[in-house]
Structure 1
Amino acid sequence: MALESTGKISSRLEVLRQRFLERAKEDIQQLRTLAEKTRRGEFSADGLLFCYQSLHRLSGSAGTFGLPELGEAAKALEKQLKVQAEELGALDDTVAHPVDIPAGFADGIDALAELVEVKSQAVEQAGSYTEEPATYKGSQGMQVSVLLVEKGDERLAMLEKEMAPYGFSFTSVNCDDAGALGNALAEVRGAAAILCRESALSDVMSLRNTSFEQSSRRRLPVICLGSDNSFHNRYRVAEAGAFAFFPDPVDIPELAERIESLAIERSANVQGRVLIVEDDAELAEHYCLVLQAAGIEAQAVSEPLHLMSNLADFEPDIVLMDVQIGEYSGVTLARLIRFEPRWLSLPIIYLSSEDDPENQLEALSKGADEFLMKPVSDSYLVRSVRIRCYRARQLSELMNRDSLTGLLKHSLIKEEVEKELARCRRSGERSCVVMLDLDHFKTVNDTWGHSQGDIVIRTLANLLRNRLRETDMIGRYGGEEFLVVLPECDVSSATELIRGIGESFSALFFVAGESSYQVTLSAGIAAINDFTNGEDALNAADQALYERKRGGRKGVTVYSSK
């Protein structure tokens, strides 16, 4: 998602602030009308509920739009009505229920009206938007770069040779040449990581931190290698700021996987998906605009009746939800979300003005995970959401990804075939499904050992990620079989693409001790649009793969019904 200019975002936020001020004045005018009824003893239960909900919105949103004093005053009045409002909310019929208004409530409403008039004259938007540093798109289709920082240690050069099959792009720089290292850091583009021995860690971290802005997401992850695997040494490395530590002898497949995951995560453009459940339209739009400008996908839901369908369509990483959404309780909505097993692990974070610790704990016990207190500044909101989305995605990756390759698990990649078939029916586009299999893989395991077999599997996974588009779906179907879904790709293009990947893979040499060997792959392709369901398309690709195996392996066969 392209980031908008600072001026354009600030302009849109200013429009939102003016809309908020206009609505706040209208709400307070209605509150004053009801307050007059309290002086005449004509106040109703429905009127109390309206006052409570209006004050709740004001207390949560006023600070964000530059009126913190208004928010605090509204919160104080809201607390006066809280107990009665909650009791009334639990009743089926509130018409005949008597209400007792606290003394001085009407005067408090009049004070609100005066406050909004005075403060809105010269208010400046609180937490004004500061342009986020540009982020870099990185995922499938982008080769991962590794900056090797040496300091008189030949082991890094040897490591580069061992990792060559994984398809990384390596650049070596001497740590003692600060100018060369600074230039190398400045020239790195896309998904990248720094690899160094612990003897060079201090110099690397110092130059890396001064080369990029403190707030920049562009600061490259540093992976440290060392001989001392003690707790105290690992603690020292972590304290220095390294993202990972690998002791000698280095586990090459695990190192390759960590480099790729860190490099791609740190360079990713969209840093999370957030569903905001908020009945204050201006506040919800403000949150969405600020998050979207920072590269975070955000969508707002103001009507709880649509909450579950929005969850299913948007599939967020986290949910930000007010404790009170109009007449609905956010606490009850959190419990309702947990009814569905697929959302049991979805982080739900209350974004609320509720400041009573006991009430917060009670709300958390009903199904949510955390509280963020309103008002929240734009920068704090962005940082908080990024951190929580990152942790949520890490956990999701662990649950949904194959541990060896980092690709989608069997059940999930099969679901992608069904999803793509449904999308093709809506759009009329042509798409393909591809089944790939490593040739004579049992011989690799029997001859060179299962650890070498794992290297071969991981290498193919990495090659597929580097050569395919972000929109393409890749999964480990089972053992040495892989499944790829290619949206908006006809059979001819898919054949050319997969054939090229097969040729590149078969040209790689895998080293085992003093020996080396090569591995080829076979593939079967089927056009998804030719079938009524995803399972049939999968079976067709599998049949095409079987024909390729019978025909001599090492190549591509397209399914034909003839």
Structure 2
Amino acid sequence: MKILLVDDDQYLNQQLSKSLKAHNYVVDIATDGESGWNYIESFEYSLVILDIMLPKLNGIALCRKLRSHNYQMPVLLLTARDSCEDKVLGLDAGADDYLVKPIRAEELIARMRALLRRATISLPPVIHWGDLTLNPAKCEISYQKSVLPLTPKEYGLMELFIRSPYRVFSYDSIIEHLWSIEEPAADNTVRAHIKSLRNKLKDAGGDPKLIENVYGIGYRIKSLDDGSFSHQYSSLNRPPLSVDETVTEIWAKIKDKTIARVESIQAIAMANSQDLNDENNPRQYAYIEAHKLAGSLGTFGYGRGSEIARKIEYLLAGEQPLDTDKQTQIEKLTEDLLKELKKTPAKPQIKEMKKHPKTTVQSLLIVDHDTILGEQIIREAHSRGLEARLAPGVGIARAMMVEYQPSIILLELNFPKPEEDGLMLLEDIAYHHPEIPVVIFSRRSSFIDRLTVCRLGSRAFLQKPMSSHQIVEIVTGILNNNTITGTIIAINDDPQILELLEALLCPLGLEVKTLNTPRKFWQVLEISNPDLLIIDVEMPHYNGIDLCQVIRNEPRWRYLPILVLTNHTDPETRAELFRAGADDFISKPVVGPELIARLFSRLHRSRLWRNIAEIDTLTGIENRYKSTEDINRLIRIAGRHKQPLCFAILDLDNFKDINDQYGHDTGDWVLHRFGEVLKKAFRQEDIVGRWGGEEFAVAMYGTYKQDAMKRLQKVLEEWRLEVLVPEDHIAFSVTFSGGVAQYPEDGHDLQLLYRVADANLDQAKQGGRNQIIG
């Protein structure tokens, strides 16, 4: 655990630090109150030890500041004053305990242990995790009653893992918990301690894999199969009811079917069919069923059941008939498995997962004394359907936030009044409303400013000057990234896994399409245009490695994230998966929080790449490369299903005159606004893209030319009536012309359709513009 000691007595600091480190605490030292506050802002501490008589900011004031900013860690006050009034003053300031100097290290450490126990909701003095026992009073960890010879850092690692057994700790998190800033550590240092810890577990007769490496995330302690753990958790560590209830509900529905599957495996094994390579052979069915059970039972709390099923799968493999010994083993294993399934499943503790929020009008609070710029941003925000308000000062912003909680805040750091400081407001937001993203927009640009706002949780740092549409573009991008949505295709021959994936992911705002066979995969892939794939390695007809190779062989799908589920964690299989094109894999049984963390990480990266490679940054719609690719896909689907498709080319009228008269910045603003109008005007399944300059392309699937003309005419009427007011307040209107072609009557491919639509566009321009010709 990490302790902050704030005292200006250097000799006492040295002695206490030495004693605390000997008891495996990590200690940071500050010699004045302001430094202590800076440490607390920058790092996470389990406990703070404060002297009362401190320079710059005394211990009582610092304690009050801690509590006013909602810091909940225990605070122990040290002082040479022993009067009743001083003790009352300290405790009323928010301290948890009070110790009078001179102090004995033994008493200090005993009081610290008591405070830390209370801070973690009455954790028992001795904690058991399987064969491991953690005794905080003695700073000892035992394996099967044999004390492990651990260094202080190794003890700290084990204590960290045992106290939070279902949390995955990243390298940065481990370093922050176990190393002080005077002794910085690197990832290699953590790996070296993990290796040493595993070796000592092995020497004691334990499993070196008890410390698990969660690929790409960090380390955790291996979960228990029987769920036996004496640790009583706080509500923060309990599983969210939605996921827990979902898993329980699914198991209740499939329990009887699962037991029947085990019984059928037992019967088939006893019949001892001859040819395993015949896919219609009963023994082949039994082998596949055992494989599925090995991968899914652990997900529902039957870790030992997965192990038994894997042994059955191994015995059923091979081409030779089962001998008597194997039959006997399978019979015994299936009986054990049936007994196991009649037990109550273990319910692993999992971290809280947020549900996808309901759709509401998003709002922006602008905190800036520049009211002219603020009004420009408000107009731009309203044009995008974003509610916005302006607070010209920090005090007004605080008052507005009481009754109006925004979705995002745009904050200036500098204000004319010296008592108003944007950084102070940012501190308040970080501590009291950390869920609200904050974008800094200021002329200040020093590295210290950027580092400070990053530490306080700012999501972006924008430097003035910048146009209002660029600002709102960034703001809306951050809002959209707060809630990832998308389409996922899951392919698995185990219906239980598919049902679980749907139950876990759909409440998070994701659309999940499931396939129990890869035979229809390519057809579904083209129709769905997914954001991510979840595939199993072992499936009938085509395995996961085959699918990865086929997907990566198609240029369009080379960057589609692929998450692989597998029973095989050996290095050879991993290497083969990555060579085939997989991005990540999860070992079965599937653990909900790990799956969601990996999946959302991949979706975030995929969205970032797609925005860079496929979206026109000025208009916010697809660029020519991406829209051409998608239109060709729609044409193939239309041909397959005998459906019509209309293709249109749109061109803003007299656009060169706008650039010449108002300037290119205004011209860019018009293009941006037109892109927004087109996005709102067409369906999600339609394709809208910018093809260069002021030319745009639209493809409407399942639409005949007459209906397409009506839709485009309606867009034109709305656009010509829109009064455009850029930042220089000069109002004007713009029209556009369009040409339409229909598949397959006007052409069987995009090139032919473009020629017909472009000819109709020329006719519309020659006829006076401001019209649609088809």
TM-score range, shorter chain: 0.7 to 0.9
Quick one: which amino acid aligns to residue 721 of structure 2? E
Distance change >3 Å, CA 422–CA 9, structure 1 → 2 = farther
**For residue 148 of structure 1, what is the aligned residue in structure 2?**
365
Quick one: which amino acid aligns to residue 172 of structure 1? L
* Cα deviation 1:418-474 (Å, max 9, x = unaligned): 666788899999986554323333344455554443333223223433555545532
Distance change >3 Å, CA 176–CA 426, structure 1 → 2 = farther
- Partner of 2:395, secondary structure, is coil
Is this contact kept in 2: 1:273–1:317, CA < 8 A?
Answer: yes
Matches within 5 A, 1:504-519: 504=722, 507-511=723-727, 516=730, 518=732
**For residue 322 of structure 1, what is the aligned residue in structure 2?**
536
Structure 1 residue 61, shift from structure 2 partner: 0.2
**For residue 498 of structure 1, what is the aligned residue in structure 2?**
716
Larger radius of gyration: 2
Whose relative contact order is higher, 1 or 2, with alpha carbons under 8 Å and at least 6 apart?
1
Matches within 5 A, 1:165-314: 167-168=383-384, 169-173=387-391, 175-177=394-396, 178-185=398-405, 193-198=408-413, 200=422, 203=425, 206-207=428-429, 221-250=437-466, 252-266=468-482, 271-314=485-528
- Compute the TM-score of the two structures, normalised by the length of structure 2: 0.57
**For residue 390 of structure 1, what is the aligned residue in structure 2?**
604
Distance change >3 Å, CA 247–CA 540, structure 1 → 2 = same
Matches within 5 A, 1:68-217: 68-75=303-310, 94=319, 106-107=328-329, 110-123=332-345, 133-137=355-359, 147-150=364-367, 153-155=368-370, 157-161=372-376, 164=379, 167-168=383-384, 169-173=387-391, 175-177=394-396, 178-185=398-405, 193-198=408-413, 200=422, 203=425, 206-207=428-429
**CA–CA separation in structure 2 for the residues paired with 1:31 and 1:70:** 14
Is this contact kept in 1: 2:721–2:733, CA < 8 A?
Answer: no
**CA–CA separation in structure 2 for the residues paired with 1:333 and 1:429:** 29
**CA–CA separation in structure 2 for the residues paired with 1:445 and 1:343:** 38
Structure 1 residue 317, shift from structure 2 partner: 1.4
**CA–CA separation in structure 2 for the residues paired with 1:156 and 1:313:** 48
**CA–CA separation in structure 1 for the residues paired with 2:249 and 2:365:** 49
Is this contact kept in 2: 1:355–1:373, CA < 8 A?
Answer: yes
Q: What residue ranges of structure 1 are gaps of 5+ in the alignment?
A: 1-5, 89-93, 139-143
Is this contact kept in 2: 1:129–1:378, CA < 8 A?
Answer: no
Is this contact kept in 2: 1:486–1:494, CA < 8 A?
Answer: no
1:356 to 570, 583, 600: 570
The alignment of Structure 1 onto Structure 2 pairs a total of residues equal to 513
- Partner of 2:719, secondary structure, is helix
Quick one: which amino acid aligns to residue 176 of structure 1? G
1:436 paired to 2:650: yes
Quick one: which amino acid aligns to residue 408 of structure 1? E
**CA–CA separation in structure 2 for the residues paired with 1:490 and 1:45:** 57
**CA–CA separation in structure 2 for the residues paired with 1:529 and 1:339:** 28
Quick one: which amino acid aligns to residue 25 of structure 1? I
Distance change >3 Å, CA 35–CA 439, structure 1 → 2 = closer
**CA–CA separation in structure 2 for the residues paired with 1:364 and 1:399:** 23
Structure 1 residue 288, shift from structure 2 partner: 2.1
**CA–CA separation in structure 2 for the residues paired with 1:424 and 1:362:** 37
1:549 paired to 2:769: no
Distance change >3 Å, CA 347–CA 18, structure 1 → 2 = same
**CA–CA separation in structure 1 for the residues paired with 2:473 and 2:519:** 42
Distance change >3 Å, CA 350–CA 156, structure 1 → 2 = farther
1:458 to 659, 668, 672: 672
1:479 paired to 2:693: yes
Is this contact kept in 2: 1:404–1:454, CA < 8 A?
Answer: yes
% of aligned pairs identical?
A: 23
RMSD across aligned positions (CA): 4.3
Is this contact kept in 2: 1:272–1:386, CA < 8 A?
Answer: no
**For residue 55 of structure 1, what is the aligned residue in structure 2?**
290
Quick one: which amino acid aligns to residue 403 of structure 2? N
Is this contact kept in 2: 1:226–1:246, CA < 8 A?
Answer: yes
Structure 1 residue 372, shift from structure 2 partner: 1.5
**CA–CA separation in structure 1 for the residues paired with 2:535 and 2:764:** 53
* Cα deviation 1:361-417 (Å, max 9, x = unaligned): 343233211112222344543443333223223322322222332211224435666
Structure 1 residue 299, shift from structure 2 partner: 1.7
Quick one: which amino acid aligns to residue 411 of structure 2? C
Structure 1 residue 476, shift from structure 2 partner: 0.6
- Partner of 1:64, secondary structure, is helix
**CA–CA separation in structure 2 for the residues paired with 1:19 and 1:450:** 63
